[in-house]
Amino acid sequence: MAAETAGFCTNCGTPLVVGNAFCTSCGSPAPVAQPVASVVAAPAPPQPAAPAAPVPAPPSSTEQVVSILGGVSIGSGFMGLKRTSYTLVMTQSRLIFAQLTSDMLKAAIEQARSETKADGGGFFKQWGAQIGASFSYAERYWQLSPDAALAETPGNFMIDRRTIEKMKLHAGMTREDTADDPDYITLKAAGTKYKLLLSGSYAHAKEALIRAGLI
């Protein structure tokens, strides 16, 4: 087996044998092999970070009150004899039923009478103001946000307009011997039916519903 060579003698050119310190031909010292420095690759420069996607600001609420209808009531209990009064606050996305409690109605009536009396109104004007108190009270919802109107009392509730299947305004039956039946609205939303009794005029209710785009 041939001996492993380690280059050639720089003096006579004889092949050098690995492990020998001198040339076997001329005796010249074999060159000392220099250690090969290991080349360490320089670390790659860091890639520039991709710009972070801008985080959109939370959308501001664009829901607005578009129409209001006071003097609405819904019957419950035996034969629907128990009635709860509401103001129907309509936005482009919801119907908000704002309950008119007895305390709220008393306060509205007292305020209406006091204001009429302060303006010099007599008994009949005060009585008229008292009758219209619930309708006047409804106007305050123009100044409230829809969420504030919904949160006003625990009895308030809302219906998403996208769930409305049918809504229709009806004229009450006219009777000769007894009081006429009130005008009313039938509403079906998310499978639930509602009958909204109206204490105001048919024309006023129609105008309010048309303004809201509901009929």
What CATH number is given to the structural domain containing 101? 2.30.29.30
pLDDT score of 30: 65
pLDDT of residue 92: 97
Instruction: Tell the residue number behind the tokens 């710009």, with chain if given.
Output: 51
**Assigned domain for 25 exists:** no
Contact between 215 and 168 (Cβ < 8 Å): yes
Residue 83 lies in a domain: yes
Range of the domain at 116: 66-211
In the chain, the number of structural domains is 1
Phi first, then psi: what are they for 163, rounded to 5°?
A: -95, -5
pTM of the full predicted structure? Answer: 0.64
pLDDT of amino acid 17: 67
Which has more pLDDT, 101 or 36?
Answer: 101
Q: What digits encode the pLDDT tens for the residues 57-66?
A: 444 469 999 9
| Assigned domain for 75 exists | yes
Q: Give buried/exposed letters for 54-72 (b at 16+ CB in 10 A, else e).
A: eeeeeeeeeeebebbbbbb
Name the residue with higher pLDDT: 115 or 35: 115
Residue 61 lies in a domain: no
Residue 40 lies in a domain: no
Is 35 within the bounds of a domain?
Answer: no
pLDDT digits (tens, 9 = 90+) for 32-48: 655 555 555 666 666 76
In a domain, 31, yes or no: no
